[in-house]
Chain A
Amino acid sequence: MALPKVCGIETEYGVISRGFDSSPIVASSVLVNAYAGAFKQSIQWDFGDETPDRDARGFALEDAFPPEVETHMANSVLTNGARYYVDHAHPEVSTPECRTATEVVLYDRAGEEIIKESMKRANALLPDRHEIITYKNNSDGKGNSYGCHENYLVSRETPFGQLATFVTTHFVTRQIYCGAGKVGSEFSMEKPDAVSYQITQRADFFEEEIGLETTIRRPIINTRDEPHCDPEKYRRLHVIVGDANMSEYATYLKVGTTSIVLAMIEDGAFPGHLIIDNPVNTIRAVSRDIEMSKTIRLTNGTLKTPLEVQFLILEAAENYYEQNGLDCVSSDDFPREGENILALWRETLLNLSKGGVGSYDTIDWLAKMRLINAYKEKNDLSPNDARLKALDLQYHDMRVGKNLSERMNLRRLITQGDAETARTEPPHSTRAFFRGMCLQRWPEFVVSANWDCLIFDVGEGPLRRIPMMEPLKGTRSLTEDLFSSCSTPMELILALGLEHSELTSFKVSDAF
């Protein structure tokens, strides 16, 4: 039975400093620290159990070029359960763990508000005409890329090879509604102007089918095995292949459809013949085919367009729903999430089969393309005009008033008020609730945090560690009584039976 699809997104933002010379690491740190300055204390992230080197295929990476391990740069844990930090010279926001796609969109929007607020606070501290600016996109147009990574909870029982093969089919073809669009090419074997416009930002950067790297020789399937929860039961699928989206509906579709596809794979319901031949070449070919008319080859020799493949996946999803329901992607707060994802998926594919009309306000690459084509025509520009690249970049500009996607009347899923609230309030249905509430109530007592534990200094005796190995525990329904009956961290520790939590054997309450 498919596991509940706990999920989240980590977004690396592009960053520049204008009017002064500063390394991106410094500029990113200024942003993160300016935001954290509003809190009583900066909470240190506990890197203790992070194992980015461990490979899901069963070995630890040794003689290959080692992936870079995150260093102790500016980072903070926020009261909404999110993490905000400097990663590889970019400011990065990771949403808290969410139970549904809608909540991921909500917290991704909250992440945008966090970034905008950071810019506002940082720029207020900088001298005149000095500014730090950020971009929610995935490339600088010069061959450098940064990611928008998705994370999904899947069962450890599902054979990884099967998971990788089938979800690759979805990653290669979902580009037709998930892509954020890009002027030009960054594929190393091509001149930049070989392609005037393509569907995604990221396709150019993928060179392998599967692997552990994230910064060079990028693989479509990333094998990082760092579940941040019980490793016997769970796997966290770390997805690096997607574009960051400005359209809320595009983010919703991206996360919603992928959650359903993963559930189908867990339950052996993914169509077995839908396997792409040469995914690395195909992911690029699909990105370059803005007419969406060229066929791609499956391993059984048949040829289908990406849209046809998506319709087949959708049909299988609709059958899967008829037989199993979609509780795995829905929740008490969002009981119809599964049906809504399926309906939007079908509407979108139907619109794409008619050239995209009807989805100009939900699909980023279409909205951006219309803008670029209209501007090019109006001003009679050549396809290589720098202004078209500027439009591409400003579509993702996080400066209020400079962001072009905001002028495209994209369909909204989240109200501004909800996004603002989610900046500080955690989701209800995952362990992020417990983390966020502890940080709200007792920030000065939380010494450090990780996805799967909190460490308290209760003011007497040794530090106390609260393990949080179950993503679906520590929810509001499981812990609200705990929070209303405890007014100090020590009371919380005692109520959880963790008085002697520095020892290996302890009684942990049902909340965890």
Chain B
Amino acid sequence: MTEKIRKSVSIPEETQVEITEDLVVGKNTHAENLKADLDDLLDEIDSILETNAEEFVNSYVQKGGE
């Protein structure tokens, strides 16, 4: 169902999609998959994150923006 919606807004091909509440059904499987993906990310995230979080965050200063 997510795939159907994705197709309707991708370029260049566009197909007609009727969005009804039924498309939200099946969300439990979708949610489970997302949680599994998140767990995978959490396992490797410490290797991606900046090692000294406090210093990283404190040293990030920006001036003069609109």
Contacts and interface: CB of A to CB of B under 8 A. Distances in A.
Interface of A: 12, 14-16, 24, 87-90, 102, 106, 135, 138-142, 144-147, 149, 214-215, 240, 249, 252, 333-336, 339-340, 343-344, 346-347, 350-351, 354, 357-358, 360-361, 370-371, 374-375, 378, 385-387, 389-391, 393-394, 401-402, 404, 407-409, 411-414, 418
A407 B41 contact: yes
B49 A390 contact: yes
A132 to B, nearest CB: 13
Contacts of A402: 48
A334 B14 contact: yes
A374 B53 CA distance: 17
B66 A146 contact: yes
Interface string B1-35: 01001101111101011010101100100110010
10 contacts: A15-B62, A16-B59, A147-B66, A214-B66, A370-B34, A375-B42, A386-B54, A389-B53, A389-B57, A413-B9
Contacts of A375: 42, 45
A146 B34 CA distance: 32
B37 A409 contact: yes
Contacts of A334: 11, 14
Contact of A343 (B5, B27, B64, B65): B5
Given A344-B9, A393-B57, A144 B62 contact: yes
A333 B16 CA distance: 16
Is chain B's interface secondary structure helix, strand, loop, or mixed overall? Answer: helix
Contacts of A135: 60
Contacts of B60: 14, 16, 135, 140-141, 393
A408 B34 CA distance: 9
A357 B11 contact: no
Contacts of B57: 141, 386, 389-390, 393
A433 B27 CA distance: 42
Contacts of A88: 64-66
A404 B47 CA distance: 12
B56 A393 contact: yes
Contact of A89 (B12, B17, B34, B63): B63
A407 B53 CA distance: 19
A215 B62 CA distance: 13
Which of B9, B10, B34, B42: most chain A Cβ within 10 A?
Answer: B9
Interface residues of chain A: helix, strand, loop or mixed (majority): mixed
Contact of A390 (B9, B12, B42, B50): B50
Given A347-B23, A386-B57, 19 more contacts: A14-B60, A14-B62, A24-B64, A87-B66, A144-B63, A146-B65, A147-B65, A334-B14, A339-B16, A351-B24, A370-B38, A371-B38, A386-B58, A387-B53, A389-B57, A390-B56, A393-B56, A401-B48, A408-B37
A340 B65 contact: no
Contacts of A418: 11
A394 B53 CA distance: 10
Given A334-B14, A390-B49, A413-B10, A149 B27 contact: no
A371 B9 CA distance: 26
Nearest to B60: A140
A358 B30 contact: yes
A387 B62 contact: no
Contacts of B6: 411-412
Interface residues of B, number: 41
Contacts of A378: 42
A89 B62 CA distance: 8
A195 B54 CA distance: 19
Contacts of A102: 9, 11
B11 A149 contact: no
Contact of B65 (A90, A141, A333): A90
A149 B9 CA distance: 23
Contacts of A393: 56-57, 60
Contact of B14 (A12, A142, A340): A340
A360 B17 contact: no
Most chain A beta carbons < 10 A, residue from B24, B30, B50, B57: B57
Contacts of A357: 27, 30-31
A409 B30 CA distance: 12
B55 to A, nearest CB: 9
Nearest to B23: A347
Contacts of A336: 8, 14, 16
Report which residue of B11, B45, B54 has the largest number of chain A beta carbons within 10 angstroms of its beta carbon.
B11
A408 B66 contact: no
A48 to B, nearest CB: 21
Nearest to B59: A16
A425 B37 CA distance: 35
Contacts of A145: 62, 65
B56 to A, nearest CB: 5
A404 B41 CA distance: 9
